């Protein structure tokens, strides 16, 4: 049904193939933005448990450190799962959409998790530094 609709719009298999790199690029740029926006909200609350600058620095540092492995995992898991689920529900013309959404969602989740782990590490470091200064 979707393929017939896309065909009536003049979209062919060649244009479907052109949508895949565009969808992947949108997933690669949109995923970190969504992950960052979600992490900033939670890291702000976590930062109240320690020194704000140390907690934020650790969260950003770990998030940047995890960017490359998260991108690889997002390609492998998000691209495959998103593309296959979209093909199952939307047909072959939905693969590009599913790949982009899968990569973006996996990248956002991985980066969010890395930033939260970094923030919790920052809380531990700031508390240890606080005890060391008090002694």
pLDDT recorded at residue 119: 94
Q: Is the pLDDT of residue 4 over 70?
A: no
Does the pLDDT value for residue 91 go beyond 80?
Answer: yes
Contact 122, 55 (CB under 8 A): yes
Cβ(121)–Cβ(106) under 8 Å?
Answer: no
92-135 per-position pLDDT tens digit: 878 889 999 999 999 999 999 999 999 999 999 998 888 766 55
The predicted pLDDT at position 59 comes to 93
- 50: which DSSP letter? S
Q: Which single residue is written with the structure tokens 């704000």? A: 52
Provide the pLDDT for residue 12.
55
Torsion of CA 110, 111, 115, 116, to 10 degrees: -30
Task: Tell me the per-residue pLDDT of 39-90, one tens digit each, with 9 for 90 and over.
Answer: 999 998 998 888 889 999 999 999 999 988 998 999 999 989 998 999 999 8
The pLDDT, as a whole number, for residue 133 is: 62
Q: What's the pLDDT band for 19 if we cut at 50, 70, 90?
A: confident
Q: What is the pLDDT of residues 29-41, one digit of tens each?
A: 999 999 999 999 9
Both structure tokens of 84? 């296959």
Residue 116 near residue 59 (C-beta atoms within 8 A): yes
- DSSP secondary structure letters along 72-110: HHIIIIIIHHHHHHHHHHH-GGGHHHHHHHHHHHHHHHH
SS3 content of the chain, % helix, strand, coil (to 5): 95, 0, 5
Q: What is the dihedral sign for C-alpha 6, 18, 20, 115?
A: negative
* pLDDT for the residue 92: 82
């Amino acid at each position: 049904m979707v393929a017939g609709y896309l065909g009536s719009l003049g979209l062919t298999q060649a244009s479907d193939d052109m949508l895949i790199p565009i969808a992947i690029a949108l997933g690669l740029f949109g995923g970190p933005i969504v992950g960052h926006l979600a992490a900033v909200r939670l890291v702000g609350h976590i930062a109240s448990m320690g020194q704000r600058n140390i907690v934020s620095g650790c969260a950003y540092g770990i998030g940047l450190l995890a960017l490359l492995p998260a991108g690889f995992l997002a390609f492998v898991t998000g691209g495959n799962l998103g593309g296959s689920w979209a093909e199952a529900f939307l047909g072959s013309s939905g693969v590009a959409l599913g790949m982009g959404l899968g990569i973006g969602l996996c990248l956002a989740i991985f980066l969010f998790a890395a930033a939260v782990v970094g923030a919790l590490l920052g809380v531990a470091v700031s508390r240890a530094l606080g005890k060391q200064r008090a002694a």
